[in-house]
Amino acid sequence: MSSLQDLVEEFARLDDAAVDQLQAIVSDWQILADLSFADLLLFCHDVEADEFLVVAQMRPYTAQTIYYEDLVGQRYQREERPAVARAFGGGEIVRDGDPDWSTGVPVREEAIPVLFDGDVIAVVTREANLSMVRAPSQLELTYLQTANELSSMLAAGTFPYPGEDPERELAPRVGDGLMRIDPKGVVQYASPNAISAYRRLGVVDNIVGRNLGDFDLDDVAVLEALVDGEPLESEVEARGAVVLRRLLPLTRDHDVLGGLMLIREVTELRRHERLLLYKDATIREIHHRVKNNLQTVASLLRLQSRRLQSEEARNALGESVRRISSIALVHETLSQDSRQRVSFDKVAQRLVDMLGTGLTNPEHPVHMALEGTAGELPAEVATPLALVLSELVQNSVEHAFPGRGGRITITLQRRPASLHLEVRDDGVGVPEGWTLDGDANLGLRIASTLVESELGGTLDVRAAADGDGTVCESLLPLPR
């Protein structure tokens, strides 16, 4: 399905600034839908076809929806949506007295024009099911009164509030808790959830009829924002409870009529966030210590190798040092990030640099090149894969270039559900009849075991097709 921006740009021919205004409305109109107990539809005008196109839709959490199907992309003729046509033409809110029965239930429709730079760029309709109407409670009357005021602000271009960040993942909703306050900060109405949230903060007396300055923990900032007509998001904490509030000033002709305070208790959420931060810090510290311990072991092995007389023993310890260092590289990367994922491209590059420095002979240089990308990998994949890469490169350096230099190319190719690794050299190649199962040295056997048992993949070692060198190719499945 096309996005709002795609539909608007293709059919309504609006510029980027106008599209941004519509995006801002859509990011914040859940409040209007919930307060209105109504579905919201956003219409744009396709001038060429002279039709009205639905580019966005919002259902209320506080009432049963009228439209179970998605209407985005639906087109309407003028005679099918007369209120929308009148709102586009007159630039004023249109409220039809007679209900519409086209959906099978009586629907009251209100069309709200969206003005931008003096032009009507869209129309928002509020569509409420009249069959659900009953004697309203004080809460419902407060909701509807506030919805009417927000509708007027929408038509006047003062809602959504200019400059507000549209990304509000934790922002309180209407059902979380609501307070209606007058221009001086006196509470006119508080929903049961709002009262409960303040009681968690230690406010046990009735808050209705009292000024915010008498009980609110951040009253100065809230009252200043109310006077200035500016929205405000704040968080207060007391007695082990955390409450998130959002103040929406209600205005008309630049005069503040009062304010709507949405309230959400986020105590458990904040507690879990702190536990996660503590857990992340602990995991990073563990990886840091593991890396340090591995480097210490590598240093001890280096000291031990200097005392050995046997060249074979020194080489064996040197290989162990490189394997340990490969694992340490992964843990070092994990210690720098709270996520349990590794940018393997960085690990691979550092590994190639380390092997190039520690293995190659200056008299017979071996040039190593890393191509492609592996992206981010889980730690349980990155650690054995680093060892596999180390063993394959080390094998090429030691066996592909007797008495001469050469080139090794490492290619990483990330696919949707797998990773392709290839280590190619231009050396002497494998002998005729050579097989991985029967003729592989210790390094290749280690690599093969890791690929098959740890990574669930396959490893193929063969002579290059052109007869120039060896190709080590591995295909590894990745968890989605």
Q: In what order do the strands lie in the sheet with 241-252?
A: 187-190, 178-181, 255-265, 241-252, 232-238
Q: Residue 473's pLDDT is what?
A: 92
Torsional sign, CA 132, 133, 136, 141: positive
pLDDT higher at 23 or 430: 23
Q: Residue 315's pLDDT is what?
A: 76
Contacts of 237 (CB under 8 A, 6+ apart): 243, 270
* CATH number for domain 341-480, candidates 3.30.930.10, 3.90.79.10, 3.30.565.10, 3.40.50.720: 3.30.565.10
Q: What is the pLDDT of residues 355-408, one digit of tens each?
A: 877 676 777 788 889 999 998 888 788 888 888 888 898 888 888 888 788 899
Please give the Cα distance from 370 to 348 (Å, whole number).
8
pLDDT higher at 173 or 324: 173
Q: What is the pLDDT of residues 29-87, one digit of tens each?
A: 999 999 999 999 999 998 888 999 999 999 999 988 988 899 999 999 999 999 999 99
Q: Is the pLDDT of residue 135 over 80?
A: no
The alpha carbons of the chain give a radius of gyration, in whole angstroms, of 34
Tokens at 250, concatenated: 């209600």
Q: What is the pLDDT of residues 150-208, one digit of tens each?
A: 999 999 989 998 877 766 667 899 999 999 999 999 999 999 999 999 999 999 889 99
Q: How confident is the model at residue 132 (pLDDT cuts 50, 70, 90)?
A: low
Q: What is the pLDDT of residues 242-274, one digit of tens each?
A: 999 999 999 998 899 999 999 999 888 888 877
Could you tell me where the beta strands, DSSP code E, fall in 309-457?
Answer: 341-343, 366-373, 376-378, 406-414, 418-425
Mean of the pLDDT values across residues 84-94?
93
Please give the Cα distance from 206 to 179 (Å, whole number).
13
The topology (CATH level 3) of 174-265 is Beta-Lactamase (3.30.450)
DSSP letter at 416 equals S
Q: Burial of 99 by CB count in 10 Å (0-12 exposed, 13-18 middle, 19+ buried)?
A: middle
pTM of the model: 0.63
Mean of the pLDDT values across residues 133-151?
86
Under CATH, to which class is 4-156 assigned?
alpha beta
From the CB of residue 148, how many other CB atoms can be counted at a distance below 10 Å?
Answer: 17
Please give the Cα distance from 442 to 446 (Å, whole number).
6
pLDDT higher at 300 or 88: 88
Q: Is the pLDDT of residue 93 over 70?
A: yes
* Contact status, residue 476 vs residue 418, Cβ threshold 8 Å: yes
Q: Is the pLDDT of residue 1 over 60?
A: no
Q: Is the pLDDT of residue 462 over 70?
A: yes
Q: Residue 39's pLDDT is what?
A: 95
Among 55, 61, 64, 78, CA closest to 7? 55
Among 244, 187, 178, CA closest to 211? 187
Torsional sign, CA 207, 208, 210, 216: positive
In percent, the amount of the chain with pLDDT more than 90 equals: 40
Q: Is the pLDDT of residue 480 over 90?
A: no
Q: What is the pLDDT of residues 394-446, one digit of tens each?
A: 888 888 888 788 899 999 999 888 999 999 999 888 888 788 877 778 788 88
Q: Residue 40's pLDDT is what?
A: 96
Which long-range contacts link 230-234 to residues 24+ away (Cβ below 8 Å)?
Answer: 230/161, 231/161, 231/164, 233/168, 233/171
